[in-house]
């Protein structure tokens, strides 16, 4: 059923379509609409789930950990400072191998206080062991929630997943979203029944003290799980497409076959970049776009294959790793270097704090790359 909804509601309905049984809720702008809508769906009997109001984002994730450990499919949502407050328990959820799904509305970090979009919040959590997806539009948000459970709950993965959507550009912007029939969704995503869970009739120990003799191996198992997740994400994206007609993968290429300049983007900037590519092509510039949809696990192999013939690679980061460069830029360069591809690269920091990245800005970025020294970082649109 096609309906018009904002990105926050797309996340709410994605959780409902996934038949979640436990929702931990704490409000923070611009995420609040997600848990508000879920509270309505539970109160109206449309979603058969426990809805728990907690006193902080830290408590929200702690509650999800408890419910998931008991074998319950759980969901929560947050944004910005709230995600930072969760940091301790994000690590716990991942190392406990709990396939929790979290919707994070990407919002800039304070101070100065901002409620607008950038990815600093989720980028700062990239080493917590969570898989990370960055949605381009509201349909992507909805579909990604459903696929996230299918991927995370796989016995060879068992890692939590974070679905990220840009504040206001998606969270409060309405678009057409095609909702999936609940019966068809259950065929795609069966009920959650984990092999290992808290059960008084089958007692086990969870999260106990681990000596140096074994701790290393737990980390290695997470490495193996992330490697499996790469294949699983591609497999689930294809299966989803075969059933529902919308195909997903870790990356998405747009007009890169003959491109001399390839833009690398994520989130909503990817959609603007495609329009920019079309406009620049009309001006005779051979430009293409590579969207990074999944940042963790990092799609190294797909990136190398997509960029191997480019003359220059221009990475647009809506984030900044202080004292270095954009996080996506660092990892793109690393992938190219490991593949022995000596391509001119350009790191472009743009759109921080919700600053608009329009087609005009992307044209400026391309022109900057064409006339500037490669292998450096440039801040686009700084007011001096």
Alpha-carbon gap, residue 101 to 34, rounded angstroms: 13
Check whether residue 263 and residue 139 sit in a common domain. Answer: no
Domain that holds residue 210: 2-244
State how many domains the chain has.
2
Residues with Cβ within 8 Å of residue 246, at least 6 apart in sequence: 139, 143, 178, 240
pLDDT tens, position by position, 95-124: 999 999 999 999 999 999 999 999 999 999
Say if residue 81 is in the same domain as residue 127.
yes
Residues 52 and 110 in one domain: yes
Determine the average pLDDT of the residues in 217-241.
98
If asked whether residues 92 and 217 sit together in one domain, one would say: yes
CATH number for the domain harbouring residue 313? 3.40.50.920
377 and 317 Cβ atoms separated by less than 8 Å: no
For residue 29, say if its preceding peptide bond is cis, omega within 30 degrees of 0.
no
Pair 235, 318 in one domain:
no
Tell which of 244, 278, 311 closes a domain: 244
User: 72 with 37, same domain?
Assistant: yes
Residues 112 and 32 occupy one common structural domain: yes
Q: Per the domain annotation, does 384 fall within a domain?
A: no
Please determine, for residue 384, whether its predicted confidence score (pLDDT) is greater than 90. no
| Statement: residue 202 has pLDDT above 90 | yes
Asked whether residue 166 falls in the same domain as residue 283, the answer is no
List, in order, residues 6 or more apart from 122 with CB less than 8 Å away. Answer: 83, 104, 106, 132, 134, 162, 164
Task: List the structure tokens of 33.
Answer: 């609409």
Instruction: Note the pLDDT of residue 4.
Output: 98
Does the pLDDT value for residue 325 go beyond 90? Answer: yes
36 and 163 share a domain?
yes
- From 244, 259, 277, the end of a domain falls on 244
Angle at which helix 87-95 crosses helix 57-69, to 10 degrees, equals: 10
Give CA–CA dist 378/325, Å, rounded.
9
Helix axes 87-95, 212-244, angle to 10 degrees: 90
Asked whether residue 45 falls in the same domain as residue 136, the answer is yes
Average pLDDT, the chain: 98
Mean of pLDDT values over 191-195: 95
Same domain, 84 and 47: yes
pLDDT > 90 in the chain, percent:
99
pLDDT of the residue at 360: 98
**What Cα–Cα distance (Å) separates residue 13 from each residue in 1, 148, 163, 342?**
12, 14, 14, 45
pLDDT tens, position by position, 24-62: 999 999 999 999 999 999 999 999 999 999 999 999 999
Task: Examine the pLDDT at 298 and tell me if it is beyond 90.
Answer: yes
Same domain flag for 257 and 175: no
Res. 156 pLDDT band, cuts 50 70 90: very high
């Amino acid at each position: 059923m096609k309906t018009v909804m904002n990105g926050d509601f797309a996340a709410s309905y994605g959780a409902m379509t996934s038949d979640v049984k436990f929702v931990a809720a704490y409000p923070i702008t611009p995420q609040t609409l997600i848990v508000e809508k879920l509270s309505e769906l539970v109160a109206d009997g449309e979603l058969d789930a426990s809805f728990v109001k907690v006193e902080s984002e830290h408590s929200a994730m702690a509650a999800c950990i408890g419910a998931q450990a008991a074998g319950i499919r759980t969901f929560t949502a947050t944004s910005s400072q709230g995600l930072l407050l969760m940091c301790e328990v994000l690590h716990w959820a991942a190392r406990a191998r709990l396939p929790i799904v979290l919707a994070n509305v990407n919002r800039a970090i304070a101070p100065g206080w901002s409620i607008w979009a950038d990815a600093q919040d989720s980028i700062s959590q990239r080493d917590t062991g969570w898989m990370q997806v960055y949605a381009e539009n509201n349909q992507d948000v909805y579909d990604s929630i459903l696929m996230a459970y299918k991927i995370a709950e796989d016995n060879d993965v068992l890692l939590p997943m974070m679905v990220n959507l840009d504040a206001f550009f998606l969270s409060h912007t309405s678009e057409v979203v095609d909702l999936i029939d609940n019966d068809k969704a259950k065929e795609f995503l069966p009920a959650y029944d984990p092999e290992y869970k808290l059960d008084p009739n089958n007692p086990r120990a969870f999260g106990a003290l681990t000596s140096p003799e074994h701790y290393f191996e737990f980390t290695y198992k997470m490495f193996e799980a992330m490697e499996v997740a790469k294949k699983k994400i591609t497999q689930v994206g294809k299966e989803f497409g075969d059933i529902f007609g919308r195909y997903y993968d870790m990356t998405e290429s747009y007009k890169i076959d003959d491109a001399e300049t390839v833009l690398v983007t994520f989130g909503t900037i990817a959609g603007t970049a495609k329009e920019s590519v079309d406009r620049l092509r009309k001006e005779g510039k051979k430009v293409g776009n590579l969207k990074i949809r999944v940042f963790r696990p990092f799609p190294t192999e797909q990136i190398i294959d997509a960029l191997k013939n480019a003359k220059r690679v221009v990475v647009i980061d809506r984030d900044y790793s202080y004292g270095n460069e954009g996080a996506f830029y660092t990892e793109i360069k690393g992938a190219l270097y490991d593949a022995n591809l000596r391509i001119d690269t350009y790191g472009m920091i743009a759109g921080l704090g919700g600053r608009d990245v329009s087609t005009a800005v992307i044209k400026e970025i391309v022109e900057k790359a064409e006339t500037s020294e490669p292998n450096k970082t440039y801040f686009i649109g700084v007011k001096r």
